Amino acid sequence: MSRRTSPVIPGFGLTLGYTLVYLSLLVLIPLGAMFVYAAQLTWAEFWAIISAPRVLAALKLSFGTAFLAALLNGVIGTLLAWALVRYVFPGRKIIEAMIDLPFALPTAVAGIALTALYAPNGPVGQFATALGFKIAYSPLGITLALTFVTLPFVVRTLQPVLADIPREVEEAAACLGAKPLQVFRHVLLPALLPAWLTGFALAFARGVGEYGSVIFIAGNMPMKTEILPLLIMVQLDQYNYVGATAIGVLMLVVSFILLLLINLLQRRISRS
């Protein structure tokens, strides 16, 4: 008679139950409460809040700089991941540790350091001022801060994928007469693109909600360098909780739509 062995991990029902409870307590219930709280507003009041020029300017700045930072990291992160996976060189471990530094470093500390470096009287900012533009207290400074914070997402997403691509495939393509650009386009890019989109989406989502590293270098000038998380804090300081919740709902909806589109694009590319 065969003995029935129990699985090492819990069954589907128990696992799904724990997952739903955990997800509800941490994500679904808080987000649902935010929508319920925002429901105190009529549609006209809600629209008046989210369509205010100051809110729209902050929305454009937050999502625009987060997109640029994620795109910039998509290029730089790919090069870094390629170098770390394909080559062995002195100082490689140090670079590996430096890439993970934004994960461990408090974002406020990063913001202070970047502001001191790129301020008009800083070691780098003074040269930019001499050339007629400024880095800190401008959208450029915000983009640099977000690039610093979101870099590990792209690198760490691409590294395992690059490590799993056999070099023999590239060598075979080269032996068949493919040029380096053709090898990258037809051999490497199809395998890297889904992971690249994942890293881009993670970096973009992280950048949209970033506060600590941006608050110091932004300058916080309304209609110019004011980000949406700061605008929410301003509303909270004025005890306008409903207005802060309305702006939070706006951020949530726009972020969800953009991430959904990125994920749909990723799935389509993976199936093709």
Q: pLDDT tens digits for 168-200?
A: 777 787 787 778 788 778 778 888 888 898 899
The CATH code of the domain that includes 112 is 1.10.3720.10
Split at pLDDT 50, 70, 90, the class of 58 is: very high
Q: What three-state secondary structure class fits 154?
A: helix
Return the higher-pLDDT residue of 86 and 6: 86
What value does the mean pLDDT take over residues 233-261?
89
CB 107 within 8 A of CB 211: yes
* pLDDT of 107: 85
Does residue 252 lie within any of the structural domains? yes
User: Does the pLDDT value for residue 4 go beyond 60?
Assistant: no
Report in angstroms the alpha-carbon separations of 233 from 29, 69, 99, 226. 22, 23, 30, 11
Rounded Cα gap, residues 214 and 145, in angstroms: 6
Does residue 264 lie within any of the structural domains? yes
Mean per-residue pLDDT of the chain: 87
CB 187 within 8 A of CB 41: no
User: Does the pLDDT value for residue 11 go beyond 80?
Assistant: no
Host domain of residue 187: 42-271
- 97: its two tokens: 């540790």
* pLDDT of 86: 86
pTM of the model: 0.86
Does residue 158 lie within any of the structural domains? yes
Does residue 178 lie within any of the structural domains? yes
Rounded Cα gap, residues 180 and 158, in angstroms: 20
Number of alpha helices (DSSP H) and beta strands (DSSP E) in the chain? 14, 0
CB 85 within 8 A of CB 77: no
* pLDDT of 133: 85
H-only helix segments in 51-138 = 53-86, 92-104, 107-118, 125-130
Give pLDDT tens digits for 141-160.
999 999 999 999 999 999 99
Domain count, the chain: 1
CB 221 within 8 A of CB 54: no
Does residue 67 lie within any of the structural domains? yes
CB 46 within 8 A of CB 245: no
